């Protein structure tokens, strides 16, 4: 990071601590940041008894007194907890990790009180079903039973009609407590830290191509390639906001970067405009209260609703904590963001199609960190056949992520010791150099 950024960040953190606006644990030399890769092993690597239950079928039917029943067939019993949320009206069912192997069309058809439903990994070790309600309804019953003919477990979710006031009271009940995070790990690496954020994930698929391909899968593949390229270069430390198909709230993505005292945050996405399949090309966004144009404002608004789609509260991110923080750092941080965006645009424009306005500004929630330079890269449009073909191409991904890595390395080159910048010397390790946790491998 340019030399002025870190002293200003330390000044801001000290001011916030003195004002009681920041917890002491977030100010120390080694902030605690969950290592998502260490939370639990991938399902395939665990003993059979520890692997998640498998959901193999689901159906909607009528329930008593005009209600609607969603039945999910599981390989074994699970503990389920349900609640409802307003704006938009949803019923949420939380489960331990479940391997959903349902047909692609599952959840897309409106039936009774169910407008649609979606499912997926919501957090490490935790899955979620989000039911969009066709009208206000409460969860009358959540139960499991055994199907006699084959011993499969039936998870039954009964929805009952309700008026708005009853629904509102039910929605005000507290959400089930989330599991505690893993123990903190201390980092001992002096290289700049880049947070690579693969957009969406888990229960939130993002944009969906006409072929059924999900944005979350495409951008995760690109993010992994970028991480591998940066790690191979050896000049940059790197950490992902998600290391697999898991939902991460928008505010938490920002918090991961800030708690790690990251030097750069790069969020990777892919857009879709079904009404205009001829539109294609990449766009680089930096944060701003005022969007460059109406299209950018609409995109930011759509991306900012990702938490609601996954049944999570849309609380303000860390960038909204205190005016003093914004006054001291936001303007300069955005200058660094714009500087990096310019360098990234220069490199990407030589290897990929760019949109008509390749650098834009908008109020994306993941770009609100006041002390971490941040950009959001829309790689292309899933609604464009040409863009989609490229996004799925290994050769194209290798070329594009190579240029992205070069842009990142160039951004930090001025502040790296010459030997490390040349890649001929390992970074010095020591307490005085600790600026964050060890990188998370995808």
Q: Are 338 and 261 in contact (CB under 8 A)?
A: no
Query: Quick one: pLDDT band at residue 429, thresholds 50, 70, 90?
Result: very low
pLDDT tens digit string along 90-103?
Answer: 999 999 999 999 99
Packed helices 394-413 and 215-233: angle between N→C axes, nearest 10 degrees? 50
Q: Are 223 and 266 in contact (CB under 8 A)?
A: no
429: domain CATH number?
Answer: 3.40.630.40
Asked if residue 77 is part of any domain, the answer here is yes
Do residue 149 and residue 215 come from a single domain?
Answer: no
Of 256, 257, 246, 255, which is closest to residue 200 (Cα–Cα)?
Answer: 246
Amino acid 276: pLDDT: 86
32 Cβ contact list (under 8 Å, min separation 6): 25, 184, 259
Do residue 230 and residue 285 come from a single domain?
Answer: yes
Do residue 294 and residue 408 come from a single domain?
Answer: yes
Do residue 193 and residue 327 come from a single domain?
Answer: yes
Amino acid 47: pLDDT: 59
**Is residue 432 predicted with pLDDT exceeding 70?**
no
Amino acid 21: pLDDT: 37
- For 416, the 3-state DSSP assignment is coil
**Is residue 428 predicted with pLDDT exceeding 70?**
no
Out of 171, 206, 237, pick the residue that ends a domain. Answer: 171
H helices, E strands: number in the chain? 12, 15
Of 362, 203, 327, 344, which is closest to residue 264 (Cα–Cα)?
Answer: 344
pLDDT tens digit string along 49-72?
Answer: 568 899 999 999 999 889 999 999
Do residue 326 and residue 397 come from a single domain?
Answer: yes
| Number of domains present in the structure of the chain | 2
In the sheet with 137-146, reading across from the earlier edge strand, the strands are 98-100, 53-63, 67-74, 153-161, 137-146
Cis peptide before 188 (omega within 30 of 0): no
76: domain CATH number?
Answer: 2.60.40.3500
Distance CA 23, CA 45 (A): 37
- For 285, the 3-state DSSP assignment is strand
Q: Are 268 and 226 in contact (CB under 8 A)?
A: yes
In the sheet with 90-96, reading across from the earlier edge strand, the strands are 81-85, 90-96, 126-133, 114-123
**Is residue 259 predicted with pLDDT exceeding 70?**
yes
392: containing domain? 5-30+186-433
Do residue 190 and residue 77 come from a single domain?
Answer: no
Do residue 209 and residue 157 come from a single domain?
Answer: no
Query: Quick one: pLDDT band at residue 314, thresholds 50, 70, 90?
Result: low
pLDDT tens digit string along 19-34?
Answer: 333 433 333 322 223 3
With residue 323 as reference, give the H or E element that holds it. helix 323-325
Average of pLDDT values for 196-206?
93
Do residue 197 and residue 131 come from a single domain?
Answer: no
Asked if residue 207 is part of any domain, the answer here is yes
Asked if residue 178 is part of any domain, the answer here is no
Query: Quick one: pLDDT band at residue 333, thresholds 50, 70, 90?
Result: confident
pLDDT tens digit string along 335-387?
Answer: 889 999 999 999 999 999 999 999 999 889 899 888 899 999 999 999 999 99
Number of alpha carbons in the 13 Å side-chain half-sphere of residue 66: 6
Task: For the chain, give the mean pLDDT.
Answer: 79
């Amino acid at each position: 990071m340019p030399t002025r950024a870190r002293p200003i960040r330390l000044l801001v953190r000290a001011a916030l601590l003195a004002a009681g606006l920041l917890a002491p644990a977030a100010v120390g030399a080694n902030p605690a940041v969950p290592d998502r890769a260490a939370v639990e092993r991938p399902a395939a690597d665990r003993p059979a008894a520890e692997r998640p239950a498998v959901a193999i079928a689901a159906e909607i039917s009528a329930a008593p007194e005009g209600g609607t029943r969603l039945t999910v067939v599981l390989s074994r019993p699970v503990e389920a907890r349900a609640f409802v949320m307003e704006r938009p009206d949803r019923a949420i069912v939380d489960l331990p990790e479940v391997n959903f192997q349902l047909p692609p069309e599952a959840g897309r058809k409106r039936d009774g009180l169910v407008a649609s439903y979606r499912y997926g990994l919501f957090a490490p070790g935790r899955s979620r079903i989000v039911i969009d309600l066709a009208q206000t309804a409460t969860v009358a019953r959540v139960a499991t039973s055994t199907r006699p003919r084959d011993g499969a477990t039936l998870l039954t979710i009964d929805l009952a009609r309700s008026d708005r006031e009853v629904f509102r009271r039910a929605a005000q009940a507290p959400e089930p407590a989330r599991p505690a995070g893993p123990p903190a790990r201390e980092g001992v690496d002096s290289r700049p830290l880049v947070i690579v954020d693969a957009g969406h994930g888990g229960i939130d698929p993002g944009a969906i191509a006409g072929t059924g391909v999900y944005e979350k899968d495409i951008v995760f593949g690109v993010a992994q390639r970028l991480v591998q390229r940066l790690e191979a270069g050896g000049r940059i430390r790197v950490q992902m906001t998600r290391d697999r198909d898991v939902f991460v709230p928008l505010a938490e993505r920002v918090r991961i970067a800030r708690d790690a005292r990251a030097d750069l945050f790069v969020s990777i996405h892919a857009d879709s405009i079904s009404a205009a399949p001829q539109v294609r090309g990449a766009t680089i966004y930096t944060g701003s209260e005022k969007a460059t144009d109406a299209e950018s404002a609409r995109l930011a608004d759509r991306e900012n609703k990702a938490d609601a789609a996954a049944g999570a509260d849309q609380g303000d991110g860390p960038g909204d904590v205190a005016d003093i923080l914004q006054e001291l750092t936001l303007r300069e941080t955005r200058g660094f963001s714009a500087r990096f965006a310019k360098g990234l645009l220069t490199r990407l424009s030589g290897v990929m199609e760019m949109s008509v306005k390749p650098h834009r500004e908008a109020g994306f929630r993941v770009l609100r960190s006041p002390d971490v330079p941040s950009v959001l890269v829309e790689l292309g449009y899933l609604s464009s056949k040409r863009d989609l073909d490229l996004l799925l191409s290994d050769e194209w991904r290798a070329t594009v992520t190579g240029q992205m890595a070069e842009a990142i390395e160039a951004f930090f080159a001025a502040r790296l010791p010459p030997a490390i910048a040349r890649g001929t010397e390992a970074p010095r390790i020591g307490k005085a150099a600790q600026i964050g946790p060890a990188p998370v491998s995808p």
